[in-house]
Amino acid sequence: MTPVYFFSFTLAFVSSFVGTFLVSRFAVKRKILDWPDQERRFHPQPMPTLGGLAIFASFFLVTFAVGVLSGYLLGGNIPLRILVAIWSGGAVLMIGGYLDDKYHLPPKLSIVFPIIAALIMVTSGMSAVSIHNPLMGGVIILPSLWSAVIVFIWILTMTYTTKLLDGMDGLVTGISAIAALVLFGLSLTEQVQQPQTALLAVTLTGSLLGFLILNFYPAKIFLGEGGSTFAGFMLAILAIVSGGKIATAIAVLGIPVLDAVWVVLQRLFAHKSPFLGDRKHLHFRLLDIGFSVPQAVLFLYALSGIFGVSALFLQSMGKLVLLGIMVLVMIVLVCTVFVFYKVKQSVNGK
């Protein structure tokens, strides 16, 4: 790790860690708390939210101070307008997150802020001009309109993936840190060679890990709406600016993405809102069969890390095969958890 990456990571880590204490005090003072219940929120006492503010503030300060004032981020593959759009989109998510955590906005209103953040990125000129064809080889050049649509849908999808995943202490923070670290490594590979993207990724990693210290079980503070959406928002952007490496990002977040899709489909078939929380997510099912919270979280960390690191060494066709393996793993997991759950129910019923 070159000095600029190490310095950015360390500064982001420390500033996020310190900022988390400040944000926690602010949230408690303003009574912006997550209250426990019997179904999904099983923490023993009211927990401060707004943790995403510490992550965003740390990321912004480091990228501005190290990246812009030093000139390191200028003149590379990330134009200044894109960087400003990232900051602006993140700020919008923080505003929306604050309002949601404070006033518990309905889903139809809370989705407005991620939509605005995604539109900011699209209108800034961020695009996926081409995608790799994993079957025939080569690349497919996208018309500008299709590029904008794909970028918008991709950012919004990733934003909501991490939002829906946020159900256990440290789960979103840790998996997002793993994903950012994988994208950092990808940006430094011979095929990509994007030091500016690497700086953004390693800074995000430091910001997330600094917060994770107080967010891992037993958590002292939660991400909140702003933090859970900002994590996915940033991972979506890093995947695009690193050369459209969407498959790599999906590899890390593949199990959570498949889990989110499965749960949303279940809710839709049951004529329920896809945005309302329940205990159908994989991480809750792991608890039902006897996992502790740390065990469930570390298990999902391991899956994300294995698939993410594997994607670094694979080309287009290999990544397609990896995604297929991921689907099979998800099916096996769901079936195994279901069987264990039924066995446990039958034993407890005797």
Average pLDDT for the chain: 88
In order, the DSSP letters of 226-264 are: HHHHHHHHHHHHHHHHTTS-HHHHHHHHHHHHHHHHHHH
- Mean pLDDT, rounded, for 294-317: 89
pLDDT in tens, 64-91: 998 788 877 777 778 889 999 999 999 9
Please, what is the Cα angle at 341 between 337 and 345, to 5 degrees? 175
What is the reported pTM? 0.92
Name the least confident of 7-16, 30-39, 168-177: 30-39
pLDDT of residue 284: 84
Percentage of the chain beyond pLDDT 70 is 91
pLDDT in tens, 215-234: 999 999 999 999 999 999 99
Q: Is the predicted pLDDT of residue 189 greater than 90, yes or no?
A: no
pLDDT of residue 139: 63
Q: Is the predicted pLDDT of residue 130 greater than 80, yes or no?
A: no
In order, the DSSP letters of 93-142 are: HHHHHHHHHHH---HHHHTHHHHHHHHHHHHTT----EEE-TTT-SEEEP
DSSP state of 2: -
* pLDDT bucket at 302, cuts 50 / 70 / 90: very high
pLDDT of residue 314: 80
pLDDT of residue 254: 80
CB 61 within 8 A of CB 232: no
